[in-house]
Amino acid sequence: MDSKFDFGAQDRARTVYIRPVALDSLPRDVQEQMPDVQTLYAVHDTDGERLALVQDRNLAFTLARQNELRPVSVH
């Protein structure tokens, strides 16, 4: 079983990655909008582009699924 399998670009395009983001690593204007929050959750596409930034991990997964994307947790 050493043969490679091409999963195709279509599957990769539908996958998004959910990861925690420390608030202090974000621009000051974002920090000012969320004074009582320490961690937000980012939704990234397979190229690493941030698609969304939300306050709750479950919301990040729900948002992805509602847009017919496949969320994967990244640490």
Q: Within 13 Å, how many C-alpha atoms sit on residue 19's CB side? A: 13
Model confidence band, residue 69 (pLDDT cutoffs 50, 70, 90): very high
Predicted pLDDT at 42: 95
- pLDDT tens-digit series, residues 7-65: 555 555 689 999 999 999 989 998 898 888 889 999 999 999 999 999 999 999 999 99
Predicted pLDDT at 35: 83
Predicted pLDDT at 55: 92
Report strand pairing: 39-44 vs 15-22.
antiparallel
- Alpha carbons 34 and 16: distance in angstroms, whole number: 24
- Alpha carbons 47 and 22: distance in angstroms, whole number: 21
Q: What is the pTM of this model?
A: 0.77
